[in-house]
Amino acid sequence: MAKDLGALTAKLYKLKEERAMYASQVKEANSEIMRTERILLDEMQKQGLYKAGNKDTSVYISRQVVPKVTDWDAFYAYIKKHDYFHLLEKRASRTGYREQYENGQSVPGLEPVIFDEIRTRKE
């Protein structure tokens, strides 16, 4: 039995609108969380604390170290020289590969995965 494509289209659009509304609420909540974390971090650092809380909850400062590449050529040379490929994320660029693929160029070690997806727009 064939499905009513008009009804399914309307349902899909409504669901995406609802998702956008929830995404907006999540974005607002994330902004408030980040603002509160900044205030809390600043206050804890002013007081020289690494842990704080009350009877129900606690927070602590966790120092993180992340890389910031300042010279890609030097970084790649270092990786190659020492065979330190573990310093790179293991993921091929979709955009870069798509460009190669669309130009008819193959890339050793990669193969295309082609799939269809539904896109929506308001008429």
Listed by start position, the domains of the chain span 1-64, 66-113
Q: What is the mean pLDDT of the chain?
A: 93
Task: Using DSSP, state whether 60 is helix, strand or coil.
Answer: strand
At 122 the pLDDT is 78
Minimal CA–CA distance to 102: which of 112, 91, 92, 115? 112
pLDDT in tens, 2-39: 789 999 999 999 999 999 999 999 999 999 999 999 99
The Cα 120–Cα 118 span in angstroms is 7
Q: CB of 12 within 8 A of CB of 118?
A: yes
- Name the pTM for this structure: 0.65
pLDDT in tens, 28-70: 999 999 999 999 999 999 999 999 999 999 999 999 999 999 9
Q: With 80 as the cut, is the pLDDT of residue 1 above it?
A: no
